[in-house]
Chains A and B, each alone.
Chain A
């Protein structure tokens, strides 16, 4: 990709992010009621979108060819179990990533 297009992509992502941050302050000055569907979606959307992103991250996993998605299964399980145990995002993310890197670089080569 050209640097120009990359800059454009970043500009779009930055602009939409800023728009979402500023919108409530511009569109709903205090005292005016938020449209119910906006209030509802800003509550219900986040968990659904995170579920979508988990699947997105695993989209190129091939469960029917060696190593039968084992690096993914093992590492995701490790992330969940350590998170249930320690409730520390950092431990789970760092641990899961190191585990996955070890599996794809050393174990399942």
Chain B
């Protein structure tokens, strides 16, 4: 128990920046979900089981639009493909964690990944418990934020017309951030360009699968123009 308490005391302060972000973003997700008619129970289930920010915003659209299971799987595959990268770069760090390893892997998100990458446990603090506490606290913040958002939406009967713009804003922020960080702008340009063309050709109801295929093909074709290290997230 002393080991756990010590790890908690070392880990908790590190998670404070993520706490602020996850409570607010989670709140937005819960509000959006509730505005489409899915209550606090669904917010809880999704935040526990999926636990991926951008994907959950997207999932609200998939759920509300009655998307097929294949569409759900493909969309998830594309949006969360970056998790492959996270896993690959944590192979060594998470080695020998025993039963904690599956929990650490399941709770890997953008924010937890960047925190784990730059944070080492202080001397005398158990590495496994330290990372597990960070990961689980972040997960908890996300769940609480989502449930609070769904509750607020139903309790206060807010006029939520336009709240779905939070998803647009989220992706515009990520896009701007990556545009500033990545020296090679080609992948971002391919994503926007191919999708725009597919939207014009196939129309707003059936362009997304052609766009996914087009992007994958274009990126493979442009492999030599996007050298290693230039498009890292």
Within residues 57 to 109 of chain A, which ones have a CB less than 8 A from any CB in chain B?
A: 57-60, 71-72, 75-76, 79-80, 83-84, 89-90, 92-94, 96-97, 100-101, 103-105
Residue of B whose beta carbon sits closest to that of A99: B165
B4-12, B121-129, B146-154, B169-177: which lies at the A interface?
Answer: B169-177
Residue of B whose beta carbon sits closest to that of A48: B191
- How far does the Cβ of A8 sit from chain B's closest Cβ, in whole Å? 6
B140 / chain A contacts, CB cutoff of 8 Å: none
Cβ–Cβ contact A93 & B80, under 8 A? no
Cβ–Cβ contact B190 & A48, under 8 A? yes
Residue of A whose beta carbon sits closest to that of B54: A53
In angstroms, Cα B232 to Cα A42, docked, is: 9
Cβ–Cβ contact A57 & B231, under 8 A? no
Partner of A17, one of B55, B160, B163, B168: B55
In angstroms, Cα B169 to Cα A97, docked, is: 7
Cβ–Cβ contact B195 & A89, under 8 A? no
- How far does the Cβ of B135 sit from chain A's closest Cβ, in whole Å? 11
Size category of the binding interface on chain A? 35 or more
In angstroms, Cα B59 to Cα A6, docked, is: 10
Residue of B whose beta carbon sits closest to that of A102: B162
A18 / chain B contacts, CB cutoff of 8 Å: 106
Does residue B157 face the partner (Cβ distance < 8 Å to A)? no
In angstroms, Cα B68 to Cα A40, docked, is: 29
Cβ–Cβ contact A57 & B72, under 8 A? no
Cβ–Cβ contact B59 & A10, under 8 A? yes
Known contacts A16-B80, A30-B91, A76-B168, A83 near B24 by CB under 8 Å: no
Chain A interface residues toward B at CB < 8 A: 1, 5-14, 16-18, 20-25, 28-30, 34, 37-60, 71-72, 75-76, 79-80, 83-84, 89-90, 92-94, 96-97, 100-101, 103-105
Can you list 11 A-B pairs with a CB-CB distance of less than 8 A?
A10-B49, A24-B84, A41-B216, A48-B215, A49-B78, A49-B215, A51-B188, A53-B58, A54-B172, A97-B165, A101-B162
